[in-house]
A = this chain, B = another copy of it.
């Protein structure tokens, strides 16, 4: 059996109340002499505080649960880093739960795990909550925030990169370098993808380029989306000069398939991406990319959760920079 404060009380001939006060260092409520005895006994018994009991009696928790959509989303690493950094500064514990790839059942199970433990807050990373899960989350009354996803309705707060600008400025970037046949590839049909598409269209329009629906290929940000798009757009002949991948993986898919078909990047075709994780620096050619501030998204998410009491959650759209690599060129 694990030792409890009762065991310490018995061993030191003190009450559990006094032991508790000493262990929690409630200065002024105990004598040095008792303190020494208690600490010695605790040490000898190998005492471990039972946080579960503490949380029950104090009705508080110092735990934030982070629910992540999947382990396949490599940008989540940076968001996690940001969350951890702020949590560490504020002496909070963070537990992570993986909710699979849009799997409603696993998503629900991870919500249950977090909610039934009465965590102090929940951060959802890149999770598209379906209706009933969102209801469940809201009903719990636990403060929450959505990162790297943009749910307009239902009044949930979210923090993400400005997806409209992502679409707009990437398109503009290629236009400024002489491209006019530009494809947008691998974005999904959620707010994230549709905002990017809107930005793409507006950038074309403002530069007097007519929108060609055949060049906006939606998907789910996957490597395969890039492969598919390249097959479609590069055969029987190159129908575009520039492509924007909805993620780094999409861009790499495009480039690999371009090579497969005998085209060079950026000599024959320019390719850029919209995430800018570390892989863009490690791949060759180095990939031109809009670098999303993922770590900052994580930090702000955690900070905002801590300020719950002061004001209602507010959504934030963050800005970004475009890093010019070796996968694009002026034509």
- A-side interface residues toward B, CB under 8 Å? 2, 46, 48-53, 55-56, 63, 71-72, 74, 77-78, 80-81, 84, 88, 93-98, 106, 109, 113, 115-118, 139-141, 223, 249, 252, 256, 259, 279, 282-284
Contact = CB atoms under 8 A, between A and B. Distances in A.
Contact of A96 (B53, B93, B97, B116): B97
A282 B280 CA distance: 12
Which residue among A46, A74, A96 has the maximum number of chain B CB atoms within 10 Å of its CB?
A: A96
Contacts of A115: 48
B52 A117 contact: yes
B51 A117 contact: yes
B72 A77 contact: yes
Nearest to A84: B98
Please state the number of chain copies in the assembly: 2
Contacts of A63: 113
Contacts of A46: 139
A198 B84 CA distance: 38
Contacts of A256: 282, 284
A149 B94 CA distance: 24
Contacts of A140: 48
A98 B96 contact: yes
B71 A81 contact: yes
A77 B84 contact: no
21 contacts: A2-B141, A46-B139, A50-B56, A50-B116, A51-B116, A52-B52, A52-B55, A63-B113, A71-B78, A71-B80, A71-B81, A72-B77, A80-B98, A88-B106, A93-B109, A93-B113, A94-B97, A95-B95, A249-B282, A252-B282, A283-B283
A48 B139 CA distance: 10
A81 to B, nearest CB: 6
A56 B52 CA distance: 7
Contacts of A116: 48-51
A50 B119 CA distance: 11
Given A48-B115, A48-B116, A56-B56, 6 more contacts: A2-B118, A2-B141, A53-B56, A252-B282, A256-B282, A279-B279
Nearest to A255: B284
Contacts of A113: 63, 93, 95
Nearest to A99: B84
Nearest to A71: B77
A271 to B, nearest CB: 13
Nearest to A49: B116
Nearest to A97: B95
Contacts of A2: 118, 141
A50 B118 contact: yes
A91 to B, nearest CB: 9
Nearest to A260: B284
A312 B304 CA distance: 46
Contacts of A88: 106
A117 B65 CA distance: 15
Contacts of A56: 50, 52-53, 56
Contacts of A141: 2
A296 to B, nearest CB: 16
